[in-house]
Amino acid sequence: MANNLSEIIQAARGDKESDLLLTNGKIINVFSGDIQNNSIAVSSGHIVGFGDYPAAKIIDLKGQFISPGFIDAHVHIESSMTCISEYAKTVTCRGTTTVVADPHEIANVLGIEGLLYMIESSENQFLNVYFTFPSCVPATDMETSGAKLTSKDIEAFMGHEKFVGLGEMMNFPGVLFRNKEVLAKINAAKKLKKPIDGHSPGLLGRDLYAYLAAGISSDHECTEESEGREKLLAGMHVMIREGTAARNLHALIPLINDHTVSRLMWCTDDRHPHELINEGSIDAIVREAIRSGVNPINAIKMATISAAHYFGLNDIGAIAPGRRADLVIFEDLNCPEPAMVFSFGQLVAKNGQMLSKNHIPSPVVLPTSMNVDLSSLDFSIPADGKYARVIEIVPYQIITRQIIVEPFIKNHSAQSDISRDILKIAVVERHKKTGNIGKGFVRGLGLKKGAIASSVAHDSHNIIVAGVNDLDMLTAVHAIVRMGGGLAVACDGKIISALELPIAGLMSSDSIEIIRDKLDHLVRICHDLGAILKDPFITLSFLALPVIPDLKLTDKGLVEVGQFGFVSLFVS
């Protein structure tokens, strides 16, 4: 903007012809909540004024509504399984013009090299991509990650214009118990006056106050109204999440009113290709909120100015002189389906289709992210007690429960028991060739045959596999390693469906439609084998996350999250 400042001022005064004039529009003013019938003048990618301006190009909006471009306040782009240029194409045409991405998935695999890849890939896209610096690489010391980022790395990166905050502080026990390095990371962000995103599921009372007192200012893990209300009252910003695995909108809608809307934002967190293509991104959340009774202006404020204010992004989030001309045009305020999308003053999409191609970065050579000795894999579980702990899946949530059952024993080994929907599950370390294999049991997948495996396993992204028998589990893991990462389904010792994710074992450079189609095939095969979840792979991917209650499995063993420590598989 600095280079064009003189031209912007001239255009704003009417002394110079603007690049574009949008006429006959209903402008949504997110400052006042009003809707104003007026024209918008755009020059050098920025809004310069309202009313009748001379312009090189005029577009008559014929009474349609004009909203600021939507902002996703917290997203892991890696969860789309596609590269940034494909992701940008997918969400921009639906009205999301800015995202604040936390690249901690790829950072947990490749560290600084992963961050540099994401920064480079985000350049020159129609999507405005900002980042928060990953605060938890690794998330905990109870798993093996591919890298470690320290407070020194934060100090080195946080001055970069692309970084607008410190990413979600998942290690809330580390905050509460004053871990020296955790506090150093927080202080590094505070020195630069950057907001610090939180991650504190179920944290209430004095522990919440301590977490907030440390300087953490937001949370996207609220699942109940009472939790969200307590956090709001304590001064926290709440990001209401509607992802693929975790959907919290309906539970948290009672929090939304004219007084709280400035403290509330929308985020997707983790969305798979199927939802991004068929439902959308922030636009889908806005529509669902309105359908559920939220005032449309408030829903749009949460998608725009609330997030912009929180991150200090004062050049986006509103329709006002000096702001970027990131705009969404739609006909029905009660069902905002983007008819046109402008990015930096350029018409880039109409009726859900991109008009121009996003920049595709030059291929970046990334180091291998698969370091596994396949000859050492062993998924047998010697029986070592009368009862065993089992991870119980909670449908449509990323939390789990812990149950104690009497395992099925055969030849002195604990086995899967499909009659009770209890399957073996294992996490294979893939970064440093340690040979670590965490083993356990899971209930709720529903498989009657075969095995499924994935190199997408939050947050350290080791290989996670669950199945009916050891042979199919081994077959699936072998395929993941051979592909350099991805998803696989095995049955009777053969791979029957797979998706390659060669970028850090997390993403592909294929089109999002190709990825979606392969995922659909994988899921259909899983359902043919008995799976009962809508998307068993995204549920599987969170079963290794030791910062979300209650019982999880890492390459080092079973973790009871409430105790933030390891527990034995077998109990007396």
3-state SS of 47-98?
Answer: EEEECCCCECCEEECCCCEEEECEEEEEECHHHHCECHHHHHHHHHCCCEEE
Nearest to 27 by CA among 17, 40, 36, 16: 36
Instruction: Please name the residues in contact with 251: beta carbons below 8 A apart, sequence gap of 6 or more.
Output: 222, 223, 224, 225
Could you tell me the pLDDT band of residue 396, with boundaries at 50, 70 and 90? confident
At residue 538, the pLDDT reads 86
Residue 363 to residues 79, 117, 508, Cα–Cα distance (Å): 20, 10, 12
The fold of 70-311 is TIM Barrel (3.20.20)
Instruction: Please name the residues in contact with 294: beta carbons below 8 A apart, sequence gap of 6 or more.
Output: 253, 256
Burial bucket for residue 258 (CB in 10 Å: 0-12, 13-18, 19+): exposed
Of the chain, the percentage scoring pLDDT greater than 90 comes to 89
The fold of 2-63 is Urease, subunit C; domain 1 (2.30.40)
Asked whether residue 518 carries a pLDDT value surpassing 90, the answer given is: yes
Q: In this structure, are residues 536 and 549 in contact, taking their beta carbons and an 8 Å threshold?
A: no
Asked whether residue 360 carries a pLDDT value surpassing 90, the answer given is: no
Q: What are the structural domain ranges in the chain?
A: 2-63, 70-311, 374-571
Half-sphere exposure of 511 (CA within 13 A, CB side): 6
At residue 363, the pLDDT reads 61
Q: Indicate the helix (H) or strand (E) that contains 240.
A: strand 237-241
At residue 418, the pLDDT reads 97
Burial 541-563 (b: 16+ CB within 10 A, else e): bbbbbbbbbbbbbbbbbbbbbee
CA–CA dist 503, 109 (Å, integer): 10
Instruction: Please state the separation of Cα 251 from the chain's center in Å.
Output: 19
Could you tell me the pLDDT band of residue 3, with boundaries at 50, 70 and 90? low
Note the pLDDT tens digit of each residue in 438-450: 999 999 999 999 9
Average pLDDT, the chain: 95
Q: In this structure, are residues 131 and 163 in contact, taking their beta carbons and an 8 Å threshold?
A: yes
Can you list the positions of beta strands (E) in 280-345? Answer: 327-330, 340-343
Could you tell me the pLDDT band of residue 548, with boundaries at 50, 70 and 90? confident
Asked whether residue 28 carries a pLDDT value surpassing 70, the answer given is: yes
At residue 2, the pLDDT reads 53
DSSP reduced 3-state for 130: strand
DSSP reduced 3-state for 571: strand
pLDDT (mean) for 260-284: 96
Asked whether residue 105 carries a pLDDT value surpassing 80, the answer given is: yes
Fold match flag (2-63 vs 70-311) = no
Asked whether residue 30 carries a pLDDT value surpassing 80, the answer given is: yes
